[in-house]
């Protein structure tokens, strides 16, 4: 209409107006999602705006995305202590400006004294809580070695420079917002047995108030020691002494030798392709890369776009893929240094075709349910951040201490929380962990072994160029969260804001049930899925929804970033 009248009248004003509309609309978010941040020079998005700003400070001073990621990683240990950490571990997928993609496994390891039955009682039953809420729950931390290894290999700045923002935030403190204040006051009630934790998360024994300045002097000192001495500032010397002393206080297992022996590992990425895009994920001991590539392979023959986002047809397709992929996770995935993971098979198009050959378009398959389980009413507390610089370096990094605030034990005098990652092992054949995931011998405990993870830092490229940096916390829901962000971008051609913000759903084979974000499945869609045979569809029992996918999209040289609106956080552009 506009064009017709314009042609008739040769109306220049209308043409300019139409052009303007076109330019503006290319930046618009049409769904009710929050506006992304835009930049051409760099972006950091994380669960803490202060930590994102730490990364941006480093980019501003000439650092690359790897420098910025290391700065953000250390800052998160200060500003988002429930998951940001130096006492845990993680995985990084890094795309370098020259197009190469590398991945760094800095997952925790079982101490040398660990053994298969260490959490079982005399009758062979799992001792409740032992792998989660005790000193014995902690694996040997990998984060410090991981961040420093990344920096040494691909960073351009000194340790002192990239750690300066984290040290400043710890020593000078920062203003507590509502989110953190509430978290501290809740979690402190579960920390009363641990003086180091009470010293950190209470204000001299009293509740913190919104607006208080949160200073962490012990953590500041620990970070300074690492900044000065490198990995020996954590895995040896006074900080290692404090960790071992903490272990002795509570019958923990980590020794000086365990700390000294810890090494992060560069592993070949999992590489898949989907509709002409390259998918780069984390290999075992994460299950994320394998499962995401496997599911994308299953879905590629289907016209997902035509089915339409949110339709019962597409949700059914994806639930069926998830059911099969998570069954494979339980059987085939574990630490590749201890167990032969059939990665090539799991990620091949042929295997996906065979595995999905019994898919029925209108009928849910049976998960061979082993009884309904309960899901902890705890929100996801791993954390993911994404970084891009203007040269095409990208970092996708997910890090965790497992449960929210890990095992709740702050190392006295050192100011940081320990993980409870040992719970990610299969404690006993077919027994569920805190995410209701079951495991088998592939993921049995052994000395020095890494526990299987769902963390799925992911990078997508096309024709060698950056497209997407994504990842998420959420235990078992990490994998399906990342899958949906990737498909939202590739199949549904969404901008980053919609791709991250829109509601998600999740299935993990067992228990045979579907979780979804509130309002994520309409009543008639739900009915259609139930008619197909999908069971137990329910809104996620924790408040903030599924996942927290702080992500970055790169399109035509423009970098757009968003922090997942389900939670606090911040995308900050350069
Ligand atoms: O590595 C894993 O798969 C888990 N430790 C992640 C834990 C997590 O996402 C916490 N959120 N619920």
Residue 103 is among the residues annotated as catalytic for this protein: no
Q: Is 419 in the pocket of ligand 1 (CB under 6 A)?
A: no
**Is the CB of 402 inside a 6 Å radius of any atom of ligand 1?**
yes
Using most ligand atoms within 8 A of CB, pick from 88, 382, 421, 473 the residue to mutate for ligand 1: 382
Per-residue model confidence as pLDDT tens digits over 56-82 = 999 999 999 999 999 999 999 999 999
Measured distance CA(453)–CA(443) in Å, rounded: 10
Enumerate the β-bridge partners of residue 410: 417
pTM of this structure: 0.93
Q: Is the pLDDT of residue 5 over 50?
A: no
In a mutational test of the pocket of ligand 1, which residue from 85, 455, 541 has the highest number of ligand atoms less than 8 Å from its CB? 455
Q: Angle 528-529-534 (CA atoms, 0-180°, nearest 5)?
A: 145
Residue with the nearest Cα to atom 1 of ligand 1?
A: 453
The two three-digit tokens of residue 445, written as one number = 């405990």
Q: Under a CB-based contact definition with an 8 Å cutoff, are residues 278 and 347 in contact?
A: no
Per-residue pLDDT band for 54 (boundaries 50, 70, 90) equals very high
Better pLDDT: 213 or 19: 213
pLDDT beyond 60 at 7: no
Distances in Å between the Cα of 92 and the Cα atoms of 8, 95, 259, 444, 471 are 58, 10, 21, 24, 10
> Which pLDDT value is given to residue 379?
55
DSSP 365-386: PP----------S-----EEEE
- The ligand 1 atom nearest the CA atom of 379: 12
Q: Provide the pairing of β-strand 265-267 with 101-106.
A: antiparallel
> pLDDT digit string (tens) for 286-313?
999 999 999 999 999 999 999 999 999 9
**Do residues 86 and 122 touch, judged by C-beta distance below 8 A?**
no
Q: How far apart are CA 217 and CA 402, in angstroms?
A: 24
pLDDT at 306: 98
**Angle CA(95)–CA(96)–CA(98) in degrees, nearest 5?**
125
By CB atoms closer than 10 A (0-12, 13-18, 19+), residue 91 is buried
Domains of the chain: 42-265+382-426 (no CATH), 267-381+454-515+525-557 (1.10.246.130)
Quick check: 12 and 19 in contact, CB under 8 A?
no
Contact criterion met (CB below 8 Å) for 502 and 424 = no
- Closest ligand 1 atom to Cα of 472: 9
| Among 285, 290, 402, residue to substitute to test ligand 1 (most atoms within 8 Å of Cβ) | 402
Q: Is the CB of 473 under 6 A from ligand 1?
A: yes
Is residue 8 very low, low, confident or very high in pLDDT (cuts 50, 70, 90)? very low
pLDDT tens figures, 251-278: 999 999 999 999 999 999 999 999 999 9
Q: Give me ligand 1 centre to Cα 111, in Å.
A: 19
34 burial via Cβ count (<10 Å: 0-12, 13-18, 19+): middle
Residue nearest to atom 2 of ligand 1 (CA): 453
For the chain, what percent of residues have pLDDT higher than 90? 89
Going by C-alpha positions, the residue among 283, 272, 379 that lies closest to residue 332 is: 283
Q: Is the CB of 381 under 6 A from ligand 1?
A: yes
Q: How confident is the model at residue 13 (pLDDT cuts 50, 70, 90)?
A: low
Residue 286 Cα to ligand 1 midpoint, Å, equals: 11
Does the Cβ of 474 fall within 6 Å of ligand 1?
Answer: yes
> DSSP letters along 130-195, please?
TTTSSGGGPPBP-HHHHHHHHHHHH--S-HHHHHHHHHHHHHH-EE--HHHHHHHHHHHTT-TT-H
Q: By alpha-carbon position, which residue is closest to atom 6 of ligand 1?
A: 475
Of 55, 468, 538, 524, give the one whose Cα is nearest residue 277: 468
Which residues, 6 or more positions from 64, have their beta carbon under 8 angstroms from its beta carbon? 97, 154, 155, 156, 389, 391, 393
Whether 534 shows a pLDDT value over 70: the answer reads yes
Which segments of 371-494 are extended strands (E)? Answer: 383-389, 394-400, 458-462, 465-470
Hey, how many other C-beta atoms are within 10 angstroms of the C-beta on 307? 18
Q: What is the mean pLDDT of the chain?
A: 93
Rounded to the nearest angstrom, the distance between the alpha carbon of 382 and the centre of ligand 1 is 5
Q: Among 146, 400, 427, which is best to mutate for testing ligand 1, by the most ligand atoms less than 8 A from CB?
A: 400
Res. 374: pLDDT tops 50: no
Q: What is the dihedral of CA 110, 112, 114, 116, to 10 degrees?
A: 90
Close Cβ partners of 550 (under 8 Å, ≥ 6 residues apart): 45, 46, 47, 384, 385, 386, 471, 500, 561, 562, 563, 564, 569, 571
SS3 state of residue 394: strand
Q: Is the CB of 570 under 6 A from ligand 1?
A: no
CA–chain centroid gap for 509, Å, is 20
What average pLDDT score do residues 446-452 get? 98
Question: Can you spell out the DSSP letters for 296-337?
Answer: HHHHTTS-HHHH-TT-HHHHHHHHHHHHHHHHHHHHH-S-TT
Torsion of CA 224, 51, 62, 551, to 10 degrees: 140
Is 354 exposed, middle or buried (CB count within 10 Å of its CB: 0-12, 13-18, 19+)? exposed
**286 Cβ closer than 6 Å to some ligand 1 atom:** no
Distance 403 CA to ligand 1 centre (A): 7
**pLDDT tops 50 at residue 25:** no
Helices of type H across 29-64:
49-60
Whether ligand 1 lies within 6 angstroms of the CB of 433 is answered as: no
Is residue 146 in contact with ligand 1, taking CB distance under 6 Å? no
CB of residue 470 inside a 6 A radius of ligand 1: no
- Decide: 296 and 483 in contact? Cβ < 8 Å: yes
Phi first, then psi: give them for residue 535, nearest 5 degrees: -110, 150
What residues are paired with 560 via a beta bridge? 38, 553
pLDDT in tens, 335-367: 999 999 999 999 999 999 999 999 999 999 988
196/408 Cα distance (integer angstroms) = 10
Give the Å distance between the CA of 132 and the centre of ligand 1: 12
Give the active site residue among 382, 400, 480, 525. Answer: 382
Residue 285: asked if its preceding bond is cis (omega within 30°), the reply is yes
* Span from the CA of 507 to the centroid of ligand 1 (angstroms): 16
């Amino acid at each position: 209409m506009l064009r017709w009248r314009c042609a008739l009248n040769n109306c220049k004003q209308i043409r300019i107006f139409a052009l303007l509309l076109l330019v503006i609309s290319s930046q618009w978010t049409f769904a009710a999602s929050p506006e992304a941040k835009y930049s051409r020079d760099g972006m950091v998005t994380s669960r803490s705006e202060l930590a994102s700003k730490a990364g941006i400070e480093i980019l501003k001073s000439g650092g690359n995305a790897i420098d910025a990621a290391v700065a953000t990683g250390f800052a998160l240990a200060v500003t988002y202590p429930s998951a940001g950490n130096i006492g845990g571990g993680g995985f990084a997928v890094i795309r370098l400006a020259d197009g190469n993609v590398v991945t760094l496994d800095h997952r925790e390891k079982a101490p040398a004294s660990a053994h298969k039955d260490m959490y079982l009682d005399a009758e062979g039953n799992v001792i409740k809580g032992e792998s989660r809420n005790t000193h014995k729950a902690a694996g040997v931390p990998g984060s410090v070695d991981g961040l420093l290894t990344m920096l040494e290999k691909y960073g351009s700045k000194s340790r002192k420079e990239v750690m300066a923002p984290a040290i400043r935030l710890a020593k000078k403190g920062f203003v507590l917002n509502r989110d953190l204040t509430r978290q501290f006051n809740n979690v402190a009630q579960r920390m009363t047995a641990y003086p180091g934790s009470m010293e950190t998360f209470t204000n001299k024994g009293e509740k913190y108030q919104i607006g208080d300045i949160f200073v962490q002097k012990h953590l500041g000192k620990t970070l300074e020691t690492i900044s000065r001495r490198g990995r020996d500032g954590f895995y040896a010397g006074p900080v290692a002494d404090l960790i071992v002393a903490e272990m002795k206080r509570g019958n923990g297992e980590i020794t000086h030798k365990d700390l000294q022996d810890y090494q992060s590992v560069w592993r070949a990425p999992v590489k898949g392709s989907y509709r002409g895009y390259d998918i780069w994920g984390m290999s075992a001991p994460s299950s994320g890369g394998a499962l995401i590539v496997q599911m994308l392979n299953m879905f590629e023959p289907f016209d997902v776009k035509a089915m339409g986002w949110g339709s019962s047809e597409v949700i059914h397709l994806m639930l069926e893929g998830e059911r099969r992929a998570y069954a494979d996770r339980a059987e085939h995935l574990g630490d590749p240094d201890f167990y032969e993971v059939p990665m090539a098979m799991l990620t091949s198009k042929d295997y996906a075709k065979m595995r999905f050959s019994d898919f029925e378009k209108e009928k849910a398959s049976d998960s061979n349910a082993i009884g309904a389980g309960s899901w902890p009413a705890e929100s996801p507390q791993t954390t993911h951040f994404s970084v891009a610089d203007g040269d095409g370096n990208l970092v996708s990094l997910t890090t965790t201490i497992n449960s929210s605030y890990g095992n709740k034990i702050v190392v006295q005098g050192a100011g940081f929380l320990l993980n409870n990652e040992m719970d990610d092992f299969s404690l006993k054949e077919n027994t569920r962990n805190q995410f209701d995931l079951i495991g088998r011998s592939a993921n049995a405990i052994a000395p020095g072994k890494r526990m299987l993870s769902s963390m799925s830092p992911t990078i997508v490229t096309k024709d060698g160029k950056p497209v997407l940096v994504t990842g998420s916390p959420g235990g078992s829901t990490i994998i399906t969260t990342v899958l949906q962000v990737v498909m939202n971008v590739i199949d549904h051609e969404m901008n980053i804001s919609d791709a991250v913000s829109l509601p998600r759903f999740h299935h993990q084979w067992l228990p045979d049930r579907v979780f979804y974000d509130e309002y994520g499945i309409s009543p008639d869609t739900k009915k259609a899925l139930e008619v197909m045979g999908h069971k137990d569809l329910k809104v996620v029992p924790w408040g903030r929804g599924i996942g927290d996918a702080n992500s970055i999209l790169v399109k035509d040289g423009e970098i757009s970033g968003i922090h997942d609106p389900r939670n606090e956080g911040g995308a900050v552009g350069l």
